[in-house]
Amino acid sequence: MKRSSITRKLQLLAIAIYCAGILGACSTQTTEAEKALTAGTSSSKELPVIEAELTAPPLVPAPITRKHPAKVVVRLEVTEVVQKLADGVDYTFWTFGGSVPGKFIRIRQNDEVEFHLMNHPDSKNPHNIDLHAVTGPGGGAASTFTAPGHETVFSFKALNPGLYVYHCATAPVGMHIANGMYGLILVEPEEGLPKVDKEYYVMQGDFYTKGGFGDAGLQPFDMGKALDENPTYVVFNGSVGALNGDNALTAKTGETVRLFVGNGGPNLVSSFHVIGEIFDKVYSEGGSKTNLNVQTTLVPAGGSAITEFKADVPGTYILVDHSIFRAFNKGALGMLKVEGPEYKDIYSGQIMDKVYLPEGATIQEMPLAKAPTAPVAANKDQRLALGKAVFVQNCQACHQAEGQGIKGAFPPLAKSDYLNADVDRSIGVIAHGLEGQIKVNGELYNSTMPKLKLTDEEIANVMTFILNNWGNKGGEVTTQQVAKAKASNKH
């Protein structure tokens, strides 16, 4: 018998055993649940009953201030919905509560939780839920196998504090998770968490589509890519750009920010990092142990971490998976915008930009030397040669040597309809930078173009070089045209 055939039979046997265990446990535990709901227990009768507040990302429910346990009723609905995965790209997500990740659940240690899982009648698949905060068979999965149009109920006691992942555990488990069925449940310790100014919910996931990154339309799930652990997208909160631009997280200088960070997977481990910040405190793996002064924290698939830091200076801080190609090429990038007064003793900003002339171990300067000036082009040919040098030094890393760009990340300059349609606008982009969505050659891009520190002469040179290469319309840009375009702030 072929090895692949043996492997397949073993897989089918494992699935059969898994499903039989769930169904058997379901019949047993459903009976127990019915008894509990009918008769109640002496402890739950004495507890106050609270309807849980559930929030969609990046928001979290308010901190728990009560000093006693309660009976908390959680109602979570499963829906299968078509939503945005990236600009121009849709995907059929399977969700807990209509969002990816699912609704954030916040309870207290020793609470008794009555959990209701409802599967919307329009769903095409049965679902269940495995909460890593639950002590019991399948983390609740054995009690919540829920067909479309049905509701299941079970209860559990929150024994251990911490930040826990929940996910669907219906076979094939990996496919359900890969379609977005995961979220976080926080069990606060009895004494509560230390007070902070801002709390946010950020959860990473990897998605596997038939098309490539940025391919437009409704994209189906690709099991082959999932088995190879080769995701098309790696994103925070369910889509490319979910935490960018107008959706960026916000804070003010002097505020302490707490991020509840999860990783739904289903496959990749996250190297979570905030560029420009140091985590003052990390609750490692979402537990009670803390680590101080952390630069990057590992968040395993099906795991979590709680990070805290003080926003000391204003600016835009970038959230990334520091497996860095995932951030800049697959979507694992978000923003935290901090506003408020600057503190130059902490961060000065740029103080100097000067020519570096190494001579021995020091930078030396001749007493009568004048600052070097950029060469001025006498004709178009010289402008093209000088422009090529500017392009190689400043533009080539993102837009590539032949101006082809990087699909889904940096727009092409070759045969660019955006560039050729309005040269003055393109001058403004180089001079002033650009943030926000644009369409180039029929593709949507939403990356950030930084403001380049170039002189008018250098901008004229590089624009002339770009216009006369890679199928663009040609022509010559002068310093006078650059000055006029910059003054009009047209970009």
Annotated binding residue at 150?
no
Give me the helix-helix angle, 479-488 and 456-467, nearest 10°: 100
Q: Is 273 annotated as a binding residue?
A: no
Phi and psi dihedrals of 71, rounded to 5? -90, 115
Residue with tokens 């002590």: 135
Provide the 3-class DSSP secondary structure of residue 404: coil
| Residue 322, annotated as binding a ligand | yes
Q: Which secondary structure element, helix H or strand E, spans residue 421, and what is its range?
A: helix 417-421
Nearest to 429 by CA among 466, 393, 401: 466
- Closest by CA position to 56, among listed 154, 272, 203: 203
176 labelled as ligand-binding? yes
Distances (CA, A) of 210 to 229, 239, 302, 461: 14, 16, 24, 42
- Per DSSP, the three-state class of 446 is coil
116 is an annotated ligand-binding site residue: no
Q: How far does CA 349 lie from the centroid of its chain?
A: 27
> 3-state SS string over 151-201?
EEEEEEECCCCEEEEEECCCCCHHHHHHCCCEEEEEEECCCCCCCCCEEEE
Report how far residue 129's alpha carbon sits from residue 144's, in angstroms, rounded to the nearest whole number: 6
Q: Give the separation between CA 491 and CA 488, rounded to whole angstroms.
A: 9
Q: Where are the beta strands (DSSP E) in 52-103?
A: 54-55, 71-86, 89-96
Q: Which H helix or E strand runs over 338?
A: strand 333-339
Measured distance CA(156)–CA(1) in Å, rounded: 46
Look at residues 290, 252, 235 and name the one whose alpha carbon lies nearest to residue 86. Answer: 235
Q: Is 335 annotated as a binding residue?
A: no
- What is the Cα 107 distance to its own chain's centre? 25
Tokens of 470: 């890679």
Task: Please check if 127 is assigned to a binding site.
Answer: yes
Q: Which residues are annotated as a binding site?
A: 127, 132, 167-168, 176, 181, 322
| Binding-site residue ranges for Cu cation | 127, 132, 167-168, 176, 181, 322
